[in-house]
């Protein structure tokens, strides 16, 4: 009986971390799919279709979940998350367009994880020394695994200009995405997944408004449309896993584990596209595994 109780306590302790790891895998997979599609299409129609697909999916599935009791506060936090998340994604694509990917990606990822971690510590959360070390190694892993092999800058661009512009916008993007993660963490477990519904309604409205204002064409081939929808569904699964994890677990280690998604992106690129990992990325993947072990233990 005592062994069963101990196993139950252990499972309850590790569950939020396992959910966070699963969310990182899904986030990385969604980014991988989105990256493939945006090589051939503009970002706005891809983001709009993927976000709308996620909204439709969760709208259809919500009646199948157990009854929940969301409050106005949960919907407000969900809406705020959608506003921050939609803004963060738009800024990220803009940063990637004007800056250097090997600089933009880690800048955005580190800023995104730093905002919730700093906020949680300021609000009184005190992770143990192993979790703290794991968080620090995890942040380092995000930087390393996001590093791409440098490429030459275009000859007609002023030296340093794209890089500096990319860093500034990437930093703003990371702050916005960090606020998205932090806002979702303020919702209550009894709210279930309703905050995600509110979040996605706001983000779809935001991106849709941008598409209408810019008169962006939403036409795409059936294959690319199917890939975009698949990416949106995987992204919604990632959001749901993160929300469940952060509702039952401590924010700083959960958000760090969820933010290790660049590792799954580069591993998928290696497995599917045959892309080689550079030395920094291999070290980053190893650091990510070490961070997981330290945080979960």
DSSP letter string over 136-173?
HHHHHHHHHHT-----PPPTTSPTTHHHHHHHHHHHHH
User: For residue 159, what pLDDT band results from cuts at 50, 70 and 90?
Assistant: very low
**CA-to-CA distance for 171 and 161, rounded, in angstroms?**
16
pLDDT score at 11: 55
Can you tell me the mean pLDDT for 58-86?
90
Least confident of 143-157, 225-239, 265-279, 282-296: 143-157
Three-class SS state of 8: helix
Model confidence over 190-215: pLDDT tens digits?
998 999 999 999 999 999 998 899 88
* pLDDT surpassing 80 at residue 155: no
Whole-model pTM: value is 0.84
274 versus 209: the higher-pLDDT residue is 209
User: For residue 157, what pLDDT band results from cuts at 50, 70 and 90?
Assistant: very low
pLDDT score at 158: 42
Can you tell me the mean pLDDT for 263-283?
82
**CA-to-CA distance for 290 and 297, rounded, in angstroms?**
11
Tokens standing for 39?
Answer: 């090589």
* pLDDT surpassing 70 at residue 154: no
Model confidence over 98-123: pLDDT tens digits?
666 666 777 777 888 888 888 888 88
Question: What burial letters (b/e) apply to 71-107, b meaning 16+ CB within 10 Å?
Answer: eeebbebbbbbbbbbbbbbbbbbbbbebbbbbbbbbb
pLDDT score at 71: 94
* pLDDT surpassing 80 at residue 83: yes
User: For residue 230, what pLDDT band results from cuts at 50, 70 and 90?
Assistant: very high
User: For residue 56, what pLDDT band results from cuts at 50, 70 and 90?
Assistant: very high
pLDDT score at 149: 64
pLDDT score at 12: 59
50 versus 7: the higher-pLDDT residue is 50
Least confident of 83-87, 129-133, 241-245: 129-133
Express as a percent the part of the chain with pLDDT over 70: 86
* pLDDT surpassing 90 at residue 267: no
Domain boundaries, the chain: 16-126+161-248
Mean pLDDT, the chain, whole residue set: 83
User: For residue 3, what pLDDT band results from cuts at 50, 70 and 90?
Assistant: low
């Amino acid at each position: 009986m005592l062994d069963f109780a101990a196993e139950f306590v252990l499972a309850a302790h590790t569950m939020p971390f396992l959910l966070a790891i699963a969310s990182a895998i899904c986030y990385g997979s969604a980014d991988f799919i989105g990256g493939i599609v945006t090589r051939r299409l503009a970002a706005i129609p891809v983001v709009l279709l993927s976000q709308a697909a996620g909204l439709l999916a969760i709208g259809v599935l919500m009646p199948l979940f157990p009854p929940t009791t969301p409050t106005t506060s949960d919907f407000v936090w969900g809406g705020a998350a959608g506003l921050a998340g939609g803004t963060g994604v738009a800024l990220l694509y803009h940063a990637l367009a004007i800056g250097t990917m090997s600089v933009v990606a880690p800048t955005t990822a580190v800023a995104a994880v730093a905002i919730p971690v700093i906020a949680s510590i300021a609000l009184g959360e005190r992770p143990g020394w192993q979790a703290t070390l794991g968080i620090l190694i995890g942040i380092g892993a995000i930087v390393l695994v996001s590093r791409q092999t440098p490429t030459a800058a275009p000859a007609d661009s002023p030296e340093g200009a794209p890089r500096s512009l990319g860093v500034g916008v990437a930093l703003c993007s990371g702050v916005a995405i960090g606020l998205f993660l932090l806002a979702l963490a303020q919702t209550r477990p009894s709210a279930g997944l309703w905050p995600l519904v509110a979040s996605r309604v706001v983000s779809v409205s935001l991106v849709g408004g941008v598409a209408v204002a810019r008169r962006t064409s939403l036409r795409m081939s059936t294959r690319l449309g199917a890939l975009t929808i698949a990416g949106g569904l995987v992204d919604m699964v990632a959001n749901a896993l993160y929300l469940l994890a952060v509702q039952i677990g401590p924010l700083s280690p959960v958000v760090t584990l969820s933010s290790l998604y660049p590792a799954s992106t580069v591993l998928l690129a290696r497995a599917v596209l045959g892309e080689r990992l550079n030395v920094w990325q291999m070290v980053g993947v190893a650091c990510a595994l070490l961070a997981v072990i330290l945080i979960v233990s």
